[in-house]
Amino acid sequence: MTKLRLSATELVAAHVFDGATVAVGGFGLSGNPTDLIHALRDSGAKDLTIVSNNMGVDGKGLGLLIENKQVTKVVSSYVGENKLFAEEFLSGALEVEFAPQGTLAERMRAGGAGIAGFFTKTGVGTPVAEGKQMQVFDGEEFVLERGIVADLSLVKAHRGDAEGNLVYRHTARNFNPLVATCGRVTIAEVEVYEGETYIDPDIVVTPGIFVQHVVLATPRVKDIEQRTVRPRPEGKA
Amino acid sequence: MAWTREDMATLAGRDLQDGQYVNLGIGIPTLVANHLPEGVRVTLQSENGLLGIGPFPFEGEEDADLINAGKQTVTAQPGSSFFDSATSFAMIRGGHVQTAILGALQVSGHGDLANWQIPGKLVKGMGGAMDLVAGTPHVIVLTEHVSKDGTPKIVTHCDLPLTGQRCVDKIITDLAVFDVTEDGLVLRAHCADTNIDDLRAVTGAPFAVDLDPEFVGP
């Protein structure tokens, strides 16, 4: 038995619904499940709540869903790279819940681990803590943040195997292992499918129990938001 | 002449100790990596999941899967590690990253910081800044002394939404260096072309003066 599925489009369409909460991995455009985001756009599902650290850029990544008017609410820490997003937010067409990056990561971790909420000092005394329960521990004030469970989680990994075990590459890991845990259904898009060769159990980052379906990513040149390089020293090839 | 961005980075670099774990924000703080005092080596943490940021890659060697929190292509130092975002913020919130250097829209005389939103105008979000200022033991703000329209960025009370309360330990601007103490700001140094009266005119919060006699300009 394998968790590999052939069509990302059919798979996402079968699991998403109007009003669904969808958690998506990635940091900027790095580690984005691009095929799955395209499939989510093609599903036409509406009134989505998207939980993701960023919302892509204009015309790329999760920005596609904003353009397609499929999103009513976003839970993110940073949306600065997306002009259409800013317009929709400022005009009131889009509801945004800003979550500090570490709080967002921990909320996904908690949701996936069966923890309803946790106390953190992040955001105390700021708009983020307004209306939330506060508690003092050891003389310091903390704010209660809730775990997140998504109806559908979309993950990008470097390699996956027939059991759904995943490993990531470099900083493309980011939110993906947390997104993988917090979905009622989790789909992983992988660049390399190891099938029944299996990933070495010692290096598995996301154990297959968190992943219901695996799709193989369409080969593509990955986007770089800020290409920064230094010149080669003279005389060295 | 006011201090340049590089001068400000040099001044911030003097505050770092050899062997520290440090997180640098986007903009002027990023420059600190290239302006460390001789003999000081720090390990740079990038909140998207890298401990041990290396220099920018050589042209042609950039890798979309290896970026810093500013989404710039970087390299990884020997001895570095990659991890997920929850682990990254365990380092930050848990106080394991020792110094954070970041920018400001406004900073108050008591160390309140606002750097993530101008209601009705600028939407970007706090990213990791709220976690960084809440969890990191030593927080340095690097900012222009006044905003583009000339209004002071150092204020008695931030009217922009806060990133953190009483979280800033040191403010370095293009004109001056302040420590933030229980009793408010203390001026420790200023650039050669300004004086204390002029500084009071462009600083929106009161400050005490206790100039560091050892201070040498950058």
pLDDT tens digits, residue range B140-176? 999 999 999 999 999 999 999 999 999 999 999 999 9
ipTM (interface predicted TM): 0.96
pLDDT value, residue B123: 75
Domain at A205, CATH number: 3.40.1080.10
At B177 the three-state DSSP class reads strand
A158 within some domain: yes
| Cβ contacts of A172 on chain B, cutoff 8 Å | 64-65
* Residue from A170, A206, A223 whose CB has the most chain B CBs within 10 Å, to mutate: A170
Phi, psi of A171 (to 5 degrees): -80, 5
Strands (E), chain A: 21-24, 48-51, 71-76, 95-98, 117-120, 134-137, 140-146, 150-160, 166-167, 183-193, 213-216
Burial A65-86 (b: 16+ CB within 10 A, else e): bbbeebbeebbbbbbbbbebbb
pLDDT tens readout for residues B83-137: 999 999 999 999 999 999 999 999 999 999 999 999 888 778 999 999 999 999 9
- As a whole number, the mean pLDDT across chain A is 95
Alpha helix positions (H), chain A: 8-15, 34-43, 63-67, 83-90, 101-112, 176-181
pLDDT value, residue A81: 77
A123 within some domain: yes
Decide if A174 touches B, using CB distance below 8 A.
yes
pLDDT value, residue A93: 86
User: Mean pLDDT throughout A43-66?
Assistant: 94
Would you say A51 and A25 are in contact if contact means Cβ atoms under 8 Å apart?
Answer: no
Decide if A220 touches B, using CB distance below 8 A.
no
User: Which residue of A90, A126, A228 is in closest CB contact with B163?
Assistant: A126
pLDDT value, residue B133: 98
Is the pLDDT at A188 greater than 90? The verdict is yes
A234 within some domain: no
pLDDT value, residue B128: 97
Burial zone of A229 (CB within 10 Å; 0-12 exposed, 13-18 middle, 19+ buried):
middle
How far CA A146 is from CA of A74, A114, B27, B28, B84, in Å, comes to: 16, 11, 32, 34, 20
Of the listed B6, B47, B59, B182, which one is catalytic?
B47
- The single residue listed with the structure tokens 């001895």 is B79
Q: What angle do CA B12, B74, B21 make, to 5 degrees?
A: 40
pLDDT value, residue A235: 62
Q: Using the beta-carbon criterion (under 8 Å), do A28 and B67 form an inter-chain contact? A: yes
Decide if A123 touches B, using CB distance below 8 A.
yes
Q: Using the beta-carbon criterion (under 8 Å), do A122 and B131 form an inter-chain contact? A: yes
Confidence class for position B186, pLDDT limits 50, 70, 90: very high
Q: Give the C-alpha separation, B167 to A56, whole Å.
A: 30
A235 within some domain: no
Q: Using the beta-carbon criterion (under 8 Å), do B65 and A169 form an inter-chain contact? A: yes
Signed CA dihedral, A106, A108, A110, A115: sign only = positive
User: Mean pLDDT throughout A114-135?
Assistant: 98
Q: Give the C-alpha separation, A216 to A46, whole Å.
A: 26
A229 within some domain: no
| Cβ contacts of A191 on chain B, cutoff 8 Å | none
Alpha-carbon gap: B198 to the closest alpha carbon of chain A (Å): 32
Q: Using the beta-carbon criterion (under 8 Å), do B67 and A30 form an inter-chain contact? A: yes
Alpha-carbon gap: A108 to the closest alpha carbon of chain B (Å): 9
Alpha-carbon gap: A36 to the closest alpha carbon of chain B (Å): 18
- The single residue listed with the structure tokens 């946790």 is A118
Would you say A94 and B123 are in contact if contact means Cβ atoms under 8 Å apart?
Answer: no
Q: Using the beta-carbon criterion (under 8 Å), do A86 and B62 form an inter-chain contact? A: no
Q: Give the C-alpha separation, A102 to A94, whole Å.
A: 23
Percent helix, strand, coil in chain A (nearest 5)? 25, 30, 45
pLDDT value, residue A233: 81
Query: A–B: how many Cβ contacts below 8 A?
Result: 188
Amino acid (1-letter code) at residue A223? D
pLDDT value, residue A34: 97
Q: Give the C-alpha separation, A112 to A100, whole Å.
A: 18
Q: Give the C-alpha separation, A54 to A74, whole Å.
A: 9
A221 within some domain: no
- The single residue listed with the structure tokens 């989404």 is B71
Termini Cα distance of chain B = 12
Decide if A228 touches B, using CB distance below 8 A.
yes
User: Which residue of A29, A81, A126 is in closest CB contact with B130?
Assistant: A126
Q: Using the beta-carbon criterion (under 8 Å), do A229 and B66 form an inter-chain contact? A: no
- As a whole number, the mean pLDDT across chain B is 96
| Cβ contacts of A223 on chain B, cutoff 8 Å | 64
Is the pLDDT at A237 greater than 60? The verdict is no
The two three-digit tokens of residue B24, written as one number: 């640098």
| Cβ contacts of A52 on chain B, cutoff 8 Å | none
A230 within some domain: no
Helix axes A101-112, B85-93, angle to 10 degrees: 120
Residue A195 region by backbone torsions, left for phi larger than 0, else alpha for psi between -120 and 50, else beta: left
A236 within some domain: no
Q: Give the C-alpha separation, B185 to B200, whole Å.
A: 12
Whose CA is closest to B155, among B163, B170, B145?
A: B145
Q: Using the beta-carbon criterion (under 8 Å), do B56 and A120 form an inter-chain contact? A: no
At B171 the three-state DSSP class reads strand
Domain that holds residue A83: 8-216
> Total domain count for chain A?
1
pLDDT value, residue A92: 86
Residue B142 region by backbone torsions, left for phi larger than 0, else alpha for psi between -120 and 50, else beta: beta
Would you say B187 and B176 are in contact if contact means Cβ atoms under 8 Å apart?
Answer: yes
Other C-beta atoms lying within 10 Å of the C-beta of residue A135: 10
Domains along the sequence of chain B with CATH = 5-209 (3.40.1080.10)
Would you say A154 and A124 are in contact if contact means Cβ atoms under 8 Å apart?
Answer: no
Alpha-carbon gap: A41 to the closest alpha carbon of chain B (Å): 23
Q: Using the beta-carbon criterion (under 8 Å), do B125 and A80 form an inter-chain contact? A: yes
* Residue from A90, A122, A159, A178 whose CB has the most chain B CBs within 10 Å, to mutate: A122
Is B47 an active-site residue?
yes
